[in-house]
Structure 1
């Protein structure tokens, strides 16, 4: 593979966030409900009881890429991890800036510096491996 770029790494973080969202929910093992589902009349049903549609679960290859991407997070500081993950989840820059306590452009520069750290480490590891 060619050298990693900022766009490649940002896309991998976005893919990892999407894969994590699509994973099945974790439930406590051993507990289940034996009661039958109650059939409610229309006037008994709550208006907010809408069925929850979850996307298809991710493929094993997507989970492996997500775990590899999560290992990259260890190269970042805690604040940088939060920033990168919020952007991977498609937060708006103004919301990220509000959460980090700075302006939008400063948050963008911090995000770019964090992604560049990962890019440098990946490219350095690729050069050493060859």
Structure 2
């Protein structure tokens, strides 16, 4: 693959956050309900809660998400939170409140974290020549 850029890394984090939201909800195993299902009349269902329907992500998206989650190990804890908050769609105002800094400072830290990941990806994707080993 070509060299990774900050924009590509940011897009991959956004895709990972969207994939994580599309995964099925985690439920506790082993509990069940023995009550019979209640059949409601049509007029009773008008005020009912709408079911939440999520299309499950495809396996390749899950694989990319797991790979992307491994990238955060190259970052410090604060940078991890910053990158995931931004990928999760938080506004800059909320991010600034969380980290206690100005919007420009938060944006610079976010750019620096993405640059760190991109540099690590570019360093690991280079083919190793025989002359470099010796």
TM-score (norm 2): 0.86
Matched, 1:70 2:32: no
Q: Distance in 1 between matches of 2:117 and 2:15?
A: 16
Q: 1:32 to 1:76 in 2, by over 3 A?
A: same
Q: Distance in 1 between matches of 2:41 and 2:92?
A: 45
Structure 2, unpaired ranges of 5+ = 130-134
Q: Aligned-pair RMSD on alpha carbons?
A: 2.0
TM-score (norm 1): 0.89
Find the counterpart in structure 1 of residue 11 from structure 2: 11
Structure 1, unpaired ranges of 5+ = none
Find the counterpart in structure 2 of residue 58 from structure 1: 57
Find the counterpart in structure 1 of residue 82 from structure 2: 83
Q: Distance in 2 between matches of 1:52 and 1:118?
A: 38
Q: 1:43 to 1:15 in 2, by over 3 A?
A: same
Find the counterpart in structure 2 of residue 98 from structure 1: 97
Q: State whether residues 94 and 104 of structure 1, in contact with CA within 8 Å, keep that contact through their aligned partners in structure 2.
A: yes
SS in 2 for 1:53: coil
Give the deviation of 1:2 after TM superposition: 0.6
Aligned residues between the structures: 129
